[in-house]
Amino acid sequence: MLRVRNRDVLFVVGVGLKKEHLTDEAKKVISRAKKVYGSAKAIKIAEDWIVGEKVIMKKFGEEIYREIERESEESDVVVLSTGDPMVAGLGKFFRDAEIVPGISSVQVALGRIKADLCEVSVLNAHSQEPGLSEERNLMILAKKGVRLEFLGKRMIVLENLEGEDEKIYQVQDTFETESDYTVVFVEVKK
């Protein structure tokens, strides 16, 4: 579920690659914001739902991100991210934001070539040279009763995401999944 907070909150909202990708959740969050930041492309996809002030971002970087965070302490602010905020997106730059997912180019590409995400590694060549042998954290999709063993590693267990019984907790070393809808994040990289 989308957690409700008493204070104003910063949302980073994925808008997908075109208007038809917008989810009802994204539309709702965008339409409630006093101020909406985004690239020209992201603003264009979301424009039918923007009621507050639009700000087209021309530069990206720590300075502007921290300024947006300060603004969000006083007013509802949304930062739009084309595609999904957590796929080579802006989500990771805002530590305290709520993330609203969107359809990413990775998903569209996988659909076109009929490959499953679980068969590929996704690399971001926007920000770095793609490295083939790079050590990666793991995200494991599992049903109930799968035993995982990662000695010395921390795991974050995410159960029943978006359900009323959503639960997120940490375990160490070994874990047996307890729900048919479990995602386990294993911190392999230090």
Q: Which of residues 150-169 bind a copy of itself (CB under 8 A)?
A: 156, 158, 161-163, 168
Q: Does residue 139 belong to the site contacting a copy of itself (CB under 8 A)? A: yes
Compare residues 36 and 99 and give the one whose CB is closer to a copy of itself.
99
Choose which of 85, 155, 175, 179 interacts with a copy of itself (CB under 8 A): 85
Q: What 8-state DSSP symbol labels residue 82? A: S
Helix (H) or strand (E) holding 12: strand 10-14
CB of 43 to a copy of itself, least distance (A): 16
Helix (H) or strand (E) holding 63: helix 62-72
CB of 173 to a copy of itself, least distance (A): 15
Choose which of 55, 64, 110, 171 interacts with a copy of itself (CB under 8 A): 110
Compare residues 53 and 111 and give the one whose CB is closer to a copy of itself.
111
C-beta separation of 33 from 14 below 8 A: no
Residue pointed to by tokens 């802006």? 90
User: Which 3 state secondary structure label does DSSP give 169?
Assistant: strand
19-38 residues near a copy of itself, rule: CB under 8 A: 19-25, 28
Q: Does residue 51 belong to the site contacting a copy of itself (CB under 8 A)? A: no
Q: Does residue 181 belong to the site contacting a copy of itself (CB under 8 A)? A: yes
Segment interacting with a copy of itself (CB under 8 A) among 32-40, 52-60, 62-70, 80-88: 80-88
Q: Does residue 119 belong to the site contacting a copy of itself (CB under 8 A)? A: yes
In 10 A of CB 90, how many CB atoms?
26
Rounded alpha-carbon distances, angstroms, from residue 147 to 25, 166, 176, 189: 34, 20, 4, 21
CB of 146 to a copy of itself, least distance (A): 5
C-beta separation of 80 from 33 below 8 A: no
CA distance 156 to 149: 13
